[in-house]
């Protein structure tokens, strides 16, 4: 069995060969590289990254094959991306953000739009 070399540089062809010839070692190497990558991230992000990796590993473990795991992980990524996009749109356009009753401020304004319009009379210059 090969030992994990801390100076290992990722190479797709080598990893593909390793996955084919020694799947157990490939999995250990994959876990090592993922952990190394997470450890290299700024400390403020490592907890969230570990949580995300746990989700990914759980999906991989619970799916019957690699393709269904890939699809589920892809769906997780798109869901997260759509949520990020929604939050960015809320931030950039505060008038479109959702309120506590699930209406936008524009909808609330439209619903409460009726009012009596009074005319101001200019003051005389006495």
- What's the number of domains the chain is made of? 2
Give domain status of residue 115, yes or no: no
Share of the chain above pLDDT 90, in %: 57
Given a cut of 70, is residue 111 above it in pLDDT? no
Quick check: is 20 in a domain?
yes
pLDDT for 10: 72
Note whether 24 and 54 are same-domain residues.
no
Domain hosting 16: range is 9-40
Is residue 124 one of the residues assigned to a domain?
no
What per-residue confidence (pLDDT) applies to 95? 59
> Is residue 117, in this structure, part of any structural domain at all?
no
List, for residues 35-94, the tens digit of each pLDDT value.
999 999 999 999 999 999 999 999 999 999 999 999 999 999 999 999 999 999 888 886
Q: Please provide the DSSP assignment of the chain as one string.
A: -PPPPTT----HHHHHHHHHH-HHHHHHHHHHHHHHHHHHS-HHHHHHHHHHHHHHHHHHHHSSSHHHHHHHHHHHHHHHHHHHHHHHHHHH-GGGS--TTS--HHHHHHHT------PPPPPP--
pLDDT tens, 54-64?
A: 999 999 999 99
Residues 57 and 87 in one domain: yes
Please give the average per-residue pLDDT across 108-118, as a whole number: 66
Is 62 part of a structural domain of the chain? yes
Asked whether 29 and 18 are in contact (CB, 8 A), the reply is yes
């Amino acid at each position: 069995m090969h030992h994990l070399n801390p100076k290992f540089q990722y190479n797709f062809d080598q990893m593909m060969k390793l996955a084919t010839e020694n799947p157990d070692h490939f999995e250990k190497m994959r876990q090592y590289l993922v952990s190394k990558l997470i450890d290299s991230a700024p400390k403020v992000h490592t907890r969230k990254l570990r949580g995300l990796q746990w989700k990914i590993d759980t999906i991989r473990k619970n799916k019957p094959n690699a393709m269904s795991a890939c699809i589920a992980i892809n769906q997780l990524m798109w869901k997260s991306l759509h949520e990020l996009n929604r939050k960015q749109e809320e931030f950039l356009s505060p008038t479109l953000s959702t309120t506590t009753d699930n209406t936008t401020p524009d909808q609330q304004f439209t619903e409460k739009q009726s009012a009596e319009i009074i005319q101001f009379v200019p003051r005389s210059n006495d």
